[in-house]
Amino acid sequence: MKIRRNTILRDTILDGFVAQNLPDRKIDEPWHVSDLIYCLRKSFWGRTDPLPPTPRQAMLFMTGKGLANELTGGEPEEEYTLDGIVGHPDYVKLYPPWEVKTTRKKVDDNPQTILEMRTWMEQIMCYMRMLKVTQFTLVEMGLMGDYKPPFPSLEVWELEETWDVIEANWQEMLRRRDVLEDAMKGLGLPPMSTLLDKKGGRWECRECAYLLRCSWIL
């Protein structure tokens, strides 16, 4: 049997997925929750001078999209807008509503590992604020499970938060929105990511398409 690597078809598949699911945002489009929970500088460049996602980023998003579609029966995400910010919770036909996440981190039954996922918590609290609820279900798929051996695993977490904390999180999102709006007016670049790994490095920067651009500015 002859085997030949087909990089053209591979790239066509990835490009088609990106075009359908990760299109460039219009410069005057409202900010999305996902723009506010990660690196603000990346979100700014994604509007003003966008670059395509890296193949790894596209594959990770594709994996998460596929899992969410399977678990929700392919139901389209519903869109919610509050204070000019747009959100798309994965599944709202049940109570509590669902958010589905895939991860490469070790997955176990310790709730503390979920609390450490700052972006997940911020995103879910945004959806709580939009939906006016204090409870949410998080469906977590670990691509590598507990690494003993590396094998996919699934955990489901029931989350509950006080309204005061939910509102405080929302006020922080409004502050970040204003930072991006100021940047769009030419009032300076937003800050780089503050999300650090256990060694103190900016993990979000490692796979970022804008890394060289940031390095040039620094």
115: domain CATH number? 3.90.320
Task: Tell me, yes or no, whether 1 lies in a domain.
Answer: no
Least confident residue range of 55-59, 94-98, 118-122, 181-185: 55-59
Least confident residue range of 13-27, 71-85, 94-108: 13-27
State the total domains in the chain: 1
pTM of structure: 0.85
Note down the domain range covering 212.
Answer: 28-217
Task: Tell me, yes or no, whether 8 lies in a domain.
Answer: no
As separate numbers, helices (DSSP H) first and strands (DSSP E) second, the chain gives 9, 6
Most confident stretch, 9-13, 119-123, 204-208, 209-213: 119-123
Share of the chain residues as helix, strand and coil, in percent rounded to the nearest 5 = 45, 15, 40
pLDDT, greater one: 203 or 169:
169
Q: Is 89 exposed, middle or buried, given 0-12, 13-18 or 19+ CB atoms closer than 10 A?
A: buried
Q: Would you state the pLDDT for residue 130?
A: 97
